[in-house]
Structure 1
Amino acid sequence: MPPEKIDSLADDVKPLVLELLRQNSGLTARVDELLAQNKALLARIADLEAGHGKPPKTPDNSSLPPSHGQKGNVAEPTRAKKARKGRPGVARALAENPDATRDIYAERCTCGAALAEAGQELARAWDHVDLPPIKPITTRLNLFRSTCPCCKARVTAQPPADMPEGSPFGPGIKAAVAYLHGCQMVGFKRLTELCEGLFGLTLSQGAISNMLARMGQPFGAAAQQIAATVRSSEVIASDETSARVKGKTHWQWTFGCTTAIYHVIAPTRGKCVPTDFLAGARPKVWLSDRLPAQCTHADAHQFCLAHLIRDAQYAIDHGDTLFAPQFKAFLKMPARSGADGPISPTARLQRIGAALTANWIVCWTSSPPMSRAATCVPPSR
């Protein structure tokens, strides 16, 4: 039996016992650590097993972007393809209003005889399209002054309205710089090289920065007009997606109607963004996905059909062969049907409601509980 007290041990045994006790304490802590790690791994395995069997998320059945989709390998052809039937070739259509026309007449025959222009018929015609040499046009403005013969005041001429004093760059250069930087995402350094190589125009990065800064006020006024147009619409559609701004996650919001689309980048994905945009206005219908921040902004709300079609596709990939395919067909049903004219929402529901109901009853009465659960459509968000 072990001794009740260490002091009762012999002096030569006591250090050995103390060392063993220290090692036992360390082993106990290591065992506790391994038990905690084993518990975490068991929970991880349970999560993976719970998700086993679910269909993979693709751009067609989830919110994954199209760039994340994988294309399958093209199978090798088992036999030679049949030769395609010949058909008339298609060439570029001739311009309706060419800037210039050159008539080229035959001058001499191969035998050396001269040919008159009168009576010659058109044999072939084509358009030759090219760009003229692009170079900036520099206009020197000299303002003169004179002395008034009456009051002896010195009077200086006023500059023309289309060429004010200050920045030397005209509206054509400003428009090109704004388009290349804002729409084509050309950076300042590459933009200076592009202007030099393509236009023969020397620009510094500072000049580009000042140019864009001065254009902020007219662009801001136009943006406010677009926002007012969308805000006053009876039907507004919205959506948002993430974006990186100066190393931080922001969100790009779009609010659109039939005639205009307003775009804003905000540091939040919250409800405050559409609320601030509406500024007290309340449309009749709001169209968006099921993100709570985009709901309850109008008298009625229409869920985005593209998101619902994706959810139906996810249920189909999960094994639902009854309800989800009919639901997807209902969502993709066109608003017009040939000579029948426009189809009201009520008529669309009546047209497919019987098929949906019959298939749902069959699914519910004949399928086991696990198959019935597979018909539930998961949320998009």
Structure 2
Amino acid sequence: MLTELRTIKAQLARNSTTSSQPPSQDKPWQPKSERQKTGRSSGAQPDHPGKTLKMSAHPDVIVDLPVTGHCTCGQAWDDVPVDTQVARQVHDLPDLHLQVTEYRADVKICPGCRSRQRAPFPTHVTAQVQYGPRVHALTVYLNVAHFVPLERTSEILHAVCGARPSDGTIALNLNLAAERLQDFEGRLRTALTHQPVLHADETGSPVNGKLHWMHVVSCAQLTFYGQHARRGLAALEHMKVLPKYTGILVHDAWSSYFKLPAQHALCGAHLLRELRGLAEHHGQVWAGALRESLRTVYHDLNAGTLSPEARTAFERRFDELLEEGLLANPAAPPVPGRRGPTKQSHGRNLALRCQQHRAAVLLFLHDCRVPFDNNQAERDVRAWCVKRKVSGGFRSEEGGCNFARIRSYISTLQKQGLSVWEGLVSVFTGDVLMPNFNP
């Protein structure tokens, strides 16, 4: 009874700092942070350069303000030459409205054979009345880059420039953009397989009321999103990146990743949260000690003060504490009449996982390319969580896949400092701006 009561209390006390539970499910109060205190106040520091609006060297409009009237001595200012000028600038948007371009194709009739010939319209002019590439790009930019729903996207365009595209028009823009980005996605897949270190994560992404999954594979300069009905290996194979990747893959120990040929590195931040949960809610002393040792060695490594002797001592201590964890969490005996493996305690499972994947947990100590955590993938996943909060999901699988491809393009451009706006406009003008696939 005491064990069951402790388990129930631990479940009620779970939050994003003691488990893999997302921060959106935390209670209203601020969870504890893993960051060490620096003693500095929050906000900009004294040596921060700061930013302010700068004067433009090439203003678009210049308004001269003459001195008029008379001086106190009676001299008329109109008769006095200008000595110098003091300039002030106002940076503002111009009056926005749609610019309508009418194409008039000449039609001629041959006087001899009476054959009728019309001048060709530009390739992007396909209808009698249509929106141009910048309007199409703006609808995609608002919907995919900033998660604005279709109806509100239409309202924004109507308020700003007088255009009111329908939901169907915006959906067609998303379909067209996804179609024209197929070559980008293929080249992105290939580029990711050549990266030395990749990060992977996944999150729920409802489609028509059913739970689907959004998977991300990324690095500092490239992002690939994939929508799939499954969370496991079938989804990873469908994305066509990780099944042939042999570099280092950083993840959170989801079992499907271990079926891939990559060299594995496990997220230390997830491990710290689980150890904190065991120490605070289950009274597992070994977990608290391992957490503090892990935090100390990470910060020493980050500061460049970790000696080879200290690294060796930590690894020895790591193994000792895991043995203590197994002793504190003995194996549960088989349940008579029940098939399959017996369910073990969370503490025992965690200790066994760390033993089994010891090299992956400690790889950050031996390879400077490997980060301690999986923050890269978690930052990339965050955008999808915002989309889910705003819209709740997608109406169709095709819509989710289109959104994933366009979002991959936007995220990659952002990481490389390229203009997302110019990129989206280029998609609709037919000459897609490609990022650097060998960063």
- Fold match (TM-score > 0.5): yes
Corresponding residue SS for 2:206: strand
How much has 1:335 moved relative to structure 2? Answer: 4.8
Corresponding residue SS for 2:139: helix
Aligned residue for 1:285? 248
Aligned residue for 2:391? none
With over 3 angstroms needed to count, the CA separation of the structure-2 counterparts of 1:371 and 1:194, relative to structure 1, is same
Q: Distance in 2 between matches of 1:238 and 1:362?
A: 29
How much has 1:286 moved relative to structure 2? Answer: 1.6
Corresponding residue SS for 2:108: strand
Aligned residue for 1:300? 263
Residue type at the aligned position of 2:60: D
With over 3 angstroms needed to count, the CA separation of the structure-2 counterparts of 1:289 and 1:179, relative to structure 1, is same
**1:59 aligned to 16, 21, 29, which one?**
16
Confirm whether residue 186 of structure 1 aligns to residue 176 of structure 2.
no
Aligned residue for 1:38? none
Q: Distance in 2 between matches of 1:374 and 1:292?
A: 16
Aligned residue for 2:183? 221
Q: Distance in 1 between matches of 2:171 and 2:66?
A: 54
With over 3 angstroms needed to count, the CA separation of the structure-2 counterparts of 1:146 and 1:265, relative to structure 1, is same
Corresponding residue SS for 1:249: coil
**1:231 aligned to 189, 193, 199, which one?**
193
Corresponding residue SS for 2:205: strand
Q: Percent identity?
A: 18
Aligned residue for 1:71? 29
Q: Distance in 2 between matches of 1:54 and 1:165?
A: 60
**1:353 aligned to 312, 332, 337, which one?**
312
Aligned residue for 1:13? none
Q: Which has the higher contact order (CA 8 A, sep 6+)?
A: 2
Aligned residue for 2:109? 147
How much has 1:239 moved relative to structure 2? Answer: 0.6
**2:219 aligned to 251, 257, 265, which one?**
257
With over 3 angstroms needed to count, the CA separation of the structure-2 counterparts of 1:231 and 1:141, relative to structure 1, is same
Corresponding residue SS for 1:163: coil
With over 3 angstroms needed to count, the CA separation of the structure-2 counterparts of 1:160 and 1:96, relative to structure 1, is same
Q: Distance in 2 between matches of 1:108 and 1:219?
A: 64
Q: Distance in 2 between matches of 1:208 and 1:108?
A: 57
Aligned residue for 2:83? 119
With over 3 angstroms needed to count, the CA separation of the structure-2 counterparts of 1:323 and 1:171, relative to structure 1, is same
Q: Distance in 2 between matches of 1:219 and 1:358?
A: 51
Aligned residue for 2:157? 195
With over 3 angstroms needed to count, the CA separation of the structure-2 counterparts of 1:156 and 1:301, relative to structure 1, is same
Residue type at the aligned position of 1:175: A
Q: Distance in 1 between matches of 2:200 and 2:97?
A: 43
Residue type at the aligned position of 2:54: L
Aligned residues of 2:276 and 2:288 also touching (Cα < 8 A): no
Q: Distance in 2 between matches of 1:362 and 1:248?
A: 42
TM-score w.r.t. length of structure 1: 0.67
Confirm whether residue 322 of structure 1 aligns to residue 295 of structure 2.
no
Q: Distance in 1 between matches of 2:128 and 2:10?
A: 68
Superposition pairs of residues 94-113 of structure 1, within 5 angstroms:
94-97=54-57, 98-102=59-63, 104=65, 106-107=67-68, 111=72, 113=75
Unpaired segments of 5 or more residues in structure 2? 32-49, 331-344, 355-439
With over 3 angstroms needed to count, the CA separation of the structure-2 counterparts of 1:364 and 1:203, relative to structure 1, is closer
Superposition pairs of residues 13-28 of structure 1, within 5 angstroms:
none
Q: After superposition, what is the alpha-carbon deviation per residue over 1:180-234, rounded to whole angstroms, capped at 9, x for unaligned?
A: 2223333333333222222111333333333333333113333233223223434
Aligned residues of 2:212 and 2:230 also touching (Cα < 8 A): yes
Q: Distance in 1 between matches of 2:196 and 2:30?
A: 44
Q: Distance in 2 between matches of 1:275 and 1:333?
A: 38
Q: Distance in 2 between matches of 1:282 and 1:359?
A: 30
**2:118 aligned to 147, 156, 162, which one?**
156
State which structure, 1 or 2, has the greater radius of gyration over its C-alpha atoms. Answer: 1
Q: Distance in 2 between matches of 1:193 and 1:362?
A: 60
Aligned residues of 1:94 and 1:126 also touching (Cα < 8 A): no
Q: Distance in 1 between matches of 2:84 and 2:51?
A: 25
Unpaired segments of 5 or more residues in structure 1? 1-41, 74-89, 341-346
Aligned residues of 2:275 and 2:288 also touching (Cα < 8 A): no
**2:171 aligned to 206, 209, 220, which one?**
209
Corresponding residue SS for 1:311: helix
Aligned residues of 2:198 and 2:218 also touching (Cα < 8 A): yes
Between Structure 1 and Structure 2, which shows a larger proportion of helix residues?
2
TM-score w.r.t. length of structure 2: 0.59
Residue type at the aligned position of 1:180: L
How much has 1:169 moved relative to structure 2? Answer: 1.2
**Number of residue pairs matched by the alignment:** 314
Q: Distance in 1 between matches of 2:175 and 2:198?
A: 31
Confirm whether residue 135 of structure 1 aligns to residue 93 of structure 2.
no
Q: After superposition, what is the alpha-carbon deviation per residue over 1:241-264, rounded to whole angstroms, capped at 9, x for unaligned?
A: 112111000111001134311101
Aligned residues of 2:272 and 2:291 also touching (Cα < 8 A): no
Q: Distance in 1 between matches of 2:120 and 2:17?
A: 63
Q: Distance in 2 between matches of 1:270 and 1:103?
A: 67
